[in-house]
Chains A and B, each alone.
Chain A
């Protein structure tokens, strides 16, 4: 076998390692690698988790979180100037005057819109603005599932313990309690909407483990859980005639003289026209920051995950938390090059696949909380040098996917992981026969805008739900709690924004907070041509970018 020859998707030298993995498989099938103690977890995190790299962070210089440590990529955007000059925007002409403005059309935004509508706000008085198409979001990409303690051997209390433990006990307890208490109700709501969850023939939900769970409470829809939920939500939003503006982003929030949030300045990404949207309640559901590529990591996130929401909120004075805590999903694709960074769902491990090193040995319990699992893989690749190097110079470990077929029966992968199977098949790799190569990938913004239990931020009139918020998961979110998060708090945001809209009185629209923020930046001595929000990442080829002329 030639080292550089490609055989069924893998290079010859990788095949050699796969043969070793195959040899140890039978033995490993009977072994479970021990779970780490809390102390061991702490140690490995400190040593290997990217969050603990001091040089990757700095204290932010301005605003409500002045002095807090944040990744450079986030601090850079908080310390950036607005995209538009306040004096260029005519606030006297209001283009959209609605009760509720929802910024971000993913799972949280659509859930909020629907529940605002159920609470009595007419569909035409709800406006969702969305940078891409409605539903194009991280929500649609989530594969593994949604947690809810709805089986007799489970309880919200056990779920709560898992959430707290996974978050290293740094969570906002009230939010965590809400998360676990409302979970079954939201899954029931999905069922009523027509979401097709995996079920036994008598209707019992099929549930499995996720990393850090003590009970099998992960509900899924094959490995297209996010897709199935989002397309159902989207259908419902469209059926209800809720107004939608696609390819339009919010570039700044609006406030009135009372410093209440009063809508946003919107920007049509295609025509470059701006719109003034006035709203009695504004809900941020903008998602996270994966596309900032913190510390240069590849990401599982969608194209628009550029942290716009936290920038907008921060400028009106909303407080943030835990932005130093970045979730690296332990298993991103490390090979082939075309799909590097894309998610290999935790469900693969949930169904029995073990991470193994190049010698075919286990080195970590397959379902530690995500940050711990990721750290163990980094350690295996870089400290112990037991990873497999790819042609692009990346390292990874094997995820022994054929074990799923052995443990759960032939055909399980096709049935329960069709998205994964398809993704690898496209590049000639058959994950039912061969293991797949994985390495941690930037997955989730653990922190975000601080919200109360009613989804309101620290600024009046501004609500937030989903990945843009912080607190629910503390410093680390567990698998299956992000769909749950946007469902539970999207609903709460929708209901409370609707209630707030009924009594809110909005005064004169201003961008005073922007002027003030700019002054603050100047006073802090920040001289830069960085602008934020960035709306979309820049991936154009370097050669092109260095030769562009701005003529039109």
Chain B
């Protein structure tokens, strides 16, 4: 199909109308329109959370949030991006903390203001049940909080919508850190292997392999058994 014949959509980038092919993602459409990203563009694959985009569509009061790299444009879309979440990151030392909600509240007392309005959940482009996760934390259920928020990419859309001014993505990072550090069982075999390596248990094996010529190495490689 030639460029001109492609079905087009009209989108409003910060209020200005542009015609763009309707198969593009918001990100590619903004570029097509002539913008070059410095901010609001990162991994382009749905992992980094930098391209959070707020939009409305015609005849709809609802405010939508999606990642620009993961959302296809629609006709009559009114778009603005969130280049930065205005928030300092509070500092903490996980090593000196306990895995409790009280510790999280010590850093983020504002989570006690959660109104259960659930607007955060509506805002999350990762479909995380954000309010549920905050409330799980209030219930002292760190594990539930972690499981609910594991897919959080810290885009901060929730935090821009929250009437209680919670910066959820930071709260969840702390919760996951505490859980990971204190509430998961350390892998025993890992500790043992680190010790074996430190003691030099594999030095001979490795040195032998290092000194081996390529042909012999290839032989060994071919002969290695693949674990089922």
Contact = CB atoms under 8 A, between A and B. Distances in A.
Assess A/B contact in the complex (Cβ within 8 A): yes
26 contacts: A38-B218, A135-B48, A149-B193, A157-B202, A169-B218, A173-B210, A184-B190, A188-B190, A188-B194, A193-B94, A194-B179, A196-B184, A201-B185, A204-B189, A214-B224, A221-B150, A228-B176, A232-B176, A239-B93, A302-B48, A338-B24, A342-B45, A418-B151, A422-B127, A544-B33, A548-B34
Interface of A: 35, 37-38, 132-133, 135-138, 140-141, 148-153, 155-158, 160-162, 164-165, 169, 173-174, 177, 180-181, 184-185, 187-188, 191-197, 199, 201-205, 209, 214-216, 221-222, 224, 226-228, 231-232, 235, 238-239, 241, 247, 269-270, 300, 302-304, 337-339, 342-343, 418-419, 422-423, 426-427, 536, 538-541, 544, 548
A389 to B, nearest CB: 14
Interface stretch (B35-43, B108-116, B159-167): B35-43
Interface string B13-27: 000000000011100
A228 B151 CA distance: 9
A164 B194 contact: no
A544 B34 contact: yes
B178 A194 contact: yes
A141 B214 CA distance: 34
Contacts of A215: 227
Contact of A151 (B92, B154, B189): B189
A127 B205 CA distance: 40
A203 B184 contact: yes
B173 interface: yes
Contacts of A197: 184, 187
Nearest to A221: B150
A235 B42 CA distance: 18
B contact patch SS: loop
A196 B202 CA distance: 28
B34 A541 contact: yes
B31 A539 contact: yes
B190 A150 contact: yes
Contacts of B48: 132-133, 135-137, 140-141, 302
B42 A191 contact: no
Contacts of A247: 38-39
A289 to B, nearest CB: 15
Contact of B37 (A138, A199, A303): A303
Contact of A161 (B34, B186, B224, B227): B224
Given A199-B184, A426-B70, 11 more contacts: A188-B194, A191-B186, A192-B181, A203-B186, A214-B224, A224-B151, A226-B47, A269-B38, A270-B39, A338-B72, A540-B34
B222 A38 contact: yes
Given A238-B89, A539-B28, A541-B33, A132 B197 contact: no
Contact of A141 (B31, B39, B47): B47
Contact of B185 (A180, A203, A423, A426): A203
Interface of B: 23-25, 28, 31-39, 41-48, 50, 70-72, 89, 91-94, 126-127, 146, 150-151, 153-154, 173, 176-181, 184-191, 193-194, 197, 202, 205-206, 209-210, 214, 217-218, 220-222, 224-227
Contacts of A227: 47, 153
A427 B24 CA distance: 12
A337 B209 contact: no
Contacts of A184: 190, 193-194, 197
B91 A157 contact: no
A195 B180 contact: yes
A270 B40 CA distance: 13
Contacts of A302: 42-45, 48
A173 B207 CA distance: 10
Looking at A157, A247, A303, A422, the one whose CB has the most chain B CB atoms below 10 A away is A303
Contacts of B32: 540-541, 544
Looking at B46, B47, B70, the one whose CB has the most chain A CB atoms below 10 A away is B47
Contacts of A193: 94, 177, 180-181
B91 A152 contact: no
A135 B50 CA distance: 10
Given A136-B42, A141-B47, A194-B177, A199 B150 contact: no
Contacts of B93: 239
Contacts of A196: 146, 150, 176, 179-180, 184
B33 A205 contact: no
A398 B153 CA distance: 29
Given A149-B193, A184-B190, A141 B45 contact: yes
B23 A194 contact: no
Nearest to B226: A214
A133 B181 contact: no
A204 B39 contact: no
Nearest to B89: A238
A150 B34 contact: no
A310 B132 CA distance: 46
Contacts of B176: 194, 196, 228, 231-232
A185 B24 CA distance: 44
Given A157-B206, A541-B33, A165 B186 contact: no
A427 B222 CA distance: 42
A161 B209 contact: yes
Contacts of A194: 94, 176-181
A540 B92 CA distance: 42
A203 B178 contact: no
A242 to B, nearest CB: 11
B150 A203 contact: no
Contacts of A541: 31-34
Contacts of B43: 136-138, 140-141, 302-303
A155 B42 contact: no
Given A140-B47, A303-B43, A540-B31, A157 B177 contact: no
A157 B154 CA distance: 39
A329 B38 CA distance: 27
B92 A231 contact: no
Nearest to B178: A194
A338 B23 contact: yes
Given A343-B45, A539-B31, A156 B150 contact: no
